[in-house]
Amino acid sequence: MEVKVRLLKNGYDKSDEFYEDFKENRTLNNDEYFTEETVSFPSNVPFPIYMGKGNEEQRKEQFLEAFKVLSENYISSERDIHLDEKAWHSFLVTHLREYMIEKYPIILENQKEFSNIVTKKFDWENYIYKCVLATEYVEDASSNSQEKLRYYNLIVDNLDLYNYIIKYEVFRNGDFLLKILNVVDELGISSIMKAKIKDRPELGKDERYGRRVIFELNKAYPVVMTPMLELEDLKEAVLKELGNYYDVSHIIRYL
């Protein structure tokens, strides 16, 4: 169901009073918090907005649930709305308050958790942002529901790589994301890409093969126009970069 969302005034995310009023359910009717502006959200169906806790299985399930709800109810809206931080924050506090409290009761106990779950900065570390982009990309790529499901599963199975891809503007691109996921899938290197690089302290504390490959591809652009490469060429480019850190001979043998 389409809903009108009143937009919050700037500064809400930093205000202690705003949090107190959210807890006591005094936000909604308080004009102090809102501008005159409204936007329409195409739906008010709730979906998981935070996957920062729980085991891997639970998190995957919630991602898939979010993908499903977003793709069916939200993603057809204008991007000015569904990729806008303030629109989402306004929507959450005015329309999903009860859902959030039930699902994430900790937001009532702790203001830090509130800002981490509800009014989190809207970038690649925000779960709604991640899910909105993922659904845009997958829904645009295919109309076949089996294929879409395959992509959604590939994303949740390669989350670290996904995060790293959408972190960089040059790779934050639907075609490229799906191509990389296909490369990882076809080469069967998902677990390698996730693994930490050991014995290379100069690379940093939490360096992983997948992140390193993306980093190197980024550096090589535009001499190697990675985002536009065909699947087979991209496969080669990925193996070449991975080869700098990992013995890829056994992968190549199976090609």
Residues in touch with another protein (CB under 8 A): 10-11, 14, 16-17, 75-80, 82-84, 133, 136, 140, 166, 169-175, 203-204, 215, 219, 221-225, 227-229, 233
Of 57 and 80, which has the nearer Cβ to another protein?
A: 80
CB of 17 to another protein, least distance (A): 8
Q: How far is the CB of 56 from another protein (least distance, A)?
A: 26
CB of residue 104 vs another protein: minimum separation in angstroms? Answer: 25
Minimum separation from the CB atom of position 123 to another protein (A): 10
Rounded Cα distance, 147 and 149, in Å = 5
Q: How far is the CB of 76 from another protein (least distance, A)?
A: 6
Considering the complex, state which of residue 175 and residue 186 has its C-beta at the smaller distance from another protein: 175
Q: Name which of 60 and 208 has its Cβ closer to another protein.
A: 208
- The residue (of 166 and 178) whose beta carbon lies closer to another protein is 166
The DSSP string of 42-90 is S---------SSS-HHHHHHHHHHHHHHHHHHTTTS-HHHHT-HHHHHH
C-alpha to C-alpha distance for 199 and 29, rounded to whole angstroms: 57
Q: Coil, strand, or helix at residue 125?
A: coil
Question: Which parts of 96-226 fold into alpha helices (H)?
Answer: 97-103, 106-109, 111-117, 127-141, 145-157, 159-167, 174-187, 190-194, 209-220
Shorter beta-carbon distance to another protein: residue 104 or 164:
164
d(CA 70, CA 128): 9
